[in-house]
């Protein structure tokens, strides 16, 4: 406290700077206010130092925040909490623990309920289970147990570590719970792939938030239960919960995989109505949905209308064009991406290599593959090698393809050998096909497609004994071709059909319709034959 100034007068002086600090939009403005604070001999004010640290946190200048903190000779608990919060939000977890140790070593200050949530968040962020256990012990030691925000943070931390048993212990001992408590457990089960248990908890929740709905939708999408993801999304709408940005991004992959175009279009209109289309992540998800539903023109239109594009936007569009057989357009877009100065990533190269495969551009594909490491510093992974092998194999360069398989830095997987087997069938190379099949029998012995592919090659070459051998091998292994399946969207409902499955309530109607269509076809054939005669 400056000499000759009492506490009430000092507080009035401090309060004079609060509006100026609130209006600071950047650190340059903060430094000007800080200079005035120093001239008023208030540089040691914990109150003002805390406010200035908060401004630094808001503006993203952690370095200046730390220098402010260090300039105060006797920081109080509020200043300590402010710097812990700033460090945690800027992912400087090492500094969080260093400051916390200083706080404990001070001896005059004890952490409170505002210290622990960001300390616990830092344990989860740093991935240190050991520190997490120690901090939990301190929560109990300093009387912060029972604080809702602190215990929610503990649940989230244990869930991130995959220690759901410990998360449940905290949850069960809580004197009160809110939606965040439940969401923490649900999210933990989703991370562990236990979507069924996550759904059970979700159904038990007394009060669901948009986060609760989104977490379950995201969980179903992640494990491939796309019909369930759409069903939860519909229920969410029915009860009047409005989807947010994360909900939309979570459900669009389900629309894409199921071909639920009408739902996807509704989400597009909803995002437009609520002015969410400036969000790059939403546009990226919509592009992928349109492309996977066969609407490549709509995907291209959306891409061209985007205000800002990131590497995901470019990569999504390149991959979509390649998958739709528009190889030249995909390669041209890759060149445009380079001219725009956007750094490519592994997915970008995967899409462009795939375009080269579809167009049979061997030289361009080889050059592109080599440029990954040479020009971009990207190490090709197994998917990139798979594209290169597919490109060489389809083009008839089977020896080169086999050289790549034998020299690649990682062990070839079933997709690599399967691609090579397919190319051998196309170009009639029985010897290499048998070699590929030997690896496939070891890697995926129960996949019938490989046996059928080799049997077809034997048939193409007129080697009936080879066909018989493959069929016998399949019988001995009790292998059967999996039933075909498809899905169709009717009145915003996705209906799944599997060959031979009569359990669905609409199966009877479907088979009757097929009989009617067959009857109509036969009648048409009879009329055509009568006209001919």
Domain extent for 430: 393-484
Sign of CA dihedral 516, 522, 528, 533: negative
Does residue 51 surpass a pLDDT of 90? Answer: yes
Whether residue 97 lies inside any domain: the answer is no
For residues 180-191, b (16+ Cβ closer than 10 Å) or e, as one string?
A: bbbbbbbbbbbb
Q: 């375009």: which residue's tokens? A: 355
Whether residue 322 lies inside any domain: the answer is yes
Same domain assignment for residues 270 and 299: yes
Which of 484, 504, 520 is the last residue before a domain boundary? 484
Q: In the 8-state DSSP scheme, what is residue 482?
A: P
Structure tokens at 81: 């909490």
Does residue 533 surpass a pLDDT of 80? Answer: no
pLDDT tens string 305-322:
998 999 999 999 999 999
Same domain assignment for residues 420 and 468: yes
d(CA 95, CA 362): 52
Same domain assignment for residues 464 and 439: yes
* Region 139-156 average pLDDT: 88
Same domain assignment for residues 450 and 480: yes
pLDDT tens string 385-431:
999 999 999 999 999 999 999 999 999 999 999 999 999 999 999 99
CA contacts within 13 A on the Cβ side of 104 = 11
Whether residue 201 lies inside any domain: the answer is no
Closest CA to 318 of 292, 352, 288, 358: 352
Closest CA to 494 of 224, 235, 261: 261
What CATH number does residue 422 fall under?
1.25.40.10
Model pLDDT, residue 4:
47
Model pLDDT, residue 503:
60
Sign of CA dihedral 317, 318, 320, 325: positive
d(CA 291, CA 261): 10
Model pLDDT, residue 394:
92
Does residue 140 surpass a pLDDT of 80? Answer: yes
Whether residue 447 lies inside any domain: the answer is yes
Task: Report yes or no: 376 and 346 within 8 Å, Cβ to Cβ.
Answer: no
Same domain assignment for residues 281 and 230: yes
pLDDT tens string 464-516:
988 898 888 888 887 766 555 565 555 555 556 655 555 666 667 777 777 77
Dihedral over alpha carbons 62, 63, 65, 68 (to 10 degrees): 170
Same domain assignment for residues 213 and 304: yes
Does residue 530 surpass a pLDDT of 60? Answer: yes
Same domain assignment for residues 400 and 370: no
Residue 403 sits at the vertex; the CA angle it makes with 400 and 404, to the nearest 5 degrees, is: 90
Same domain assignment for residues 304 and 323: no
Whether residue 369 lies inside any domain: the answer is yes
pLDDT tens string 268-291:
999 999 999 999 999 999 999 999
pLDDT tens string 84-135:
999 999 999 999 999 999 999 887 888 888 899 999 999 988 888 899 999 9
Residue 120 sits at the vertex; the CA angle it makes with 208 and 57, to the nearest 5 degrees, is: 90
Residue 308 has phi, psi (to 5 degrees) of -130, 140
Task: Report yes or no: 79 and 49 within 8 Å, Cβ to Cβ.
Answer: yes
Whether residue 34 lies inside any domain: the answer is no
pLDDT tens string 341-358:
999 999 999 999 999 998
For residues 130-156, b (16+ Cβ closer than 10 Å) or e, as one string?
A: ebbeebbebbeeeebbebeebbbbbbb
Count: domains in the chain: 3
Q: Which of 71-75, 152-156, 522-526 has the weakest average pLDDT?
A: 522-526
Which of 320, 353, 380 is the last residue before a domain boundary? 380
Same domain assignment for residues 214 and 304: yes
Which of 350, 380, 410 is the last residue before a domain boundary? 380
Whether residue 32 lies inside any domain: the answer is no
Model pLDDT, residue 211:
92
């Amino acid at each position: 406290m400056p000499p000759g100034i009492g506490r009430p007068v000092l507080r009035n002086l401090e309060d004079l700077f609060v509006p100026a600090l609130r209006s600071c939009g950047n650190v340059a403005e903060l430094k000007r206010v800080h200079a005035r604070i120093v001239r008023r001999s208030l540089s040691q004010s914990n109150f003002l130092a805390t406010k200035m640290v908060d401004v630094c946190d808001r503006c993203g200048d952690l370095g200046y925040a730390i220098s402010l903190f260090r300039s105060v000779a006797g920081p109080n608990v509020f200043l300590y909490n402010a710097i812990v919060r700033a460090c945690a939000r800027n992912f400087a977890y090492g500094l969080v623990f260093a400051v916390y140790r200083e706080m404990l070593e001070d001896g005059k200050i004890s952490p409170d309920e505002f210290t622990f949530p960001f300390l616990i968040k830092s344990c989860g962020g740093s991935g240190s289970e050991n520190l997490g256990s120690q901090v939990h012990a301190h929560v109990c030691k300093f009387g912060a147990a029972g604080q809702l925000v602190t215990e929610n943070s503990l649940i989230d931390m244990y869930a991130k570590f995959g220690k759901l048993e410990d998360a449940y212990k905290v949850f069960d001992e809580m004197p009160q719970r809110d939606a965040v408590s439940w969401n923490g457990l649900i999210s933990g089960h989703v991370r562990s792939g236990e979507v069924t248990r996550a759904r059970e908890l979700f159904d038990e929740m007394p009060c669901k938030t948009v986060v609760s709905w989104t977490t379950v939708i995201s969980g179903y999408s992640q494990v491939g239960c796309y019909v369930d993801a759409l069903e939860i999304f519909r229920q969410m709408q029915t009860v009047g919960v409005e989807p947010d940005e994360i909900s939309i991004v979570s459900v669009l992959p389900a629309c894409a995989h199921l071909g639920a175009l009408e739902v996807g279009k509704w989400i597009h209109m909803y995002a437009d109505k609520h002015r969410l289309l400036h969000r790059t992540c939403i546009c990226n998800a919509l592009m992928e949905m349109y492309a996977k539903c066969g609407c490549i023109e709509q995907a291209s239109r959306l891409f061209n209308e985007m205000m800002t594009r990131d590497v995901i936007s470019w990569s999504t569009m390149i991959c979509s064009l390649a998958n739709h057989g528009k190889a030249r357009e995909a390669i041209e877009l890759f060149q445009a991406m380079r001219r725009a100065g956007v750094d490519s990533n592994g997915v970008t190269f995967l899409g462009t290599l795939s375009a080269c495969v579809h167009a049979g551009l061997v030289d361009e594909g080889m050059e592109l593959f080599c440029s990954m490491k040479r020009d971009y510093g990207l190490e090709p992974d197994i998917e990139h090698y798979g594209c290169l092998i597919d490109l060489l194999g389809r083009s008839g360069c089977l020896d080169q393809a086999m050289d790549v398989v034998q020299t690649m830095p990682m062990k070839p997987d079933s997709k690599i050998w399967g691609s090579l087997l397919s190319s051998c069938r196309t170009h009639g190379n029985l010897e290499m096909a048998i070699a590929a099949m030997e690896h496939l029998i070891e890697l995926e012995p129960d996949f019938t497609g490989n046996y059928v592919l080799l049997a077809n090659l034997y048939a193409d070459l007129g080697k009936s004994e080879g066909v018989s051998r493959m069929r016998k091998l399949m019988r001995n292994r009790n292998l059967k071709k999996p039933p075909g399946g498809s899905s169709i969207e009717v009145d915003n409902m996705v209906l799944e059909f599997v060959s031979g499955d009569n359990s669905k309530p609409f199966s009877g109607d479907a088979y009757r319709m097929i009989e009617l269509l067959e009857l109509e076809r036969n009648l048409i054939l009879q009329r055509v034959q009568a006209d001919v005669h």
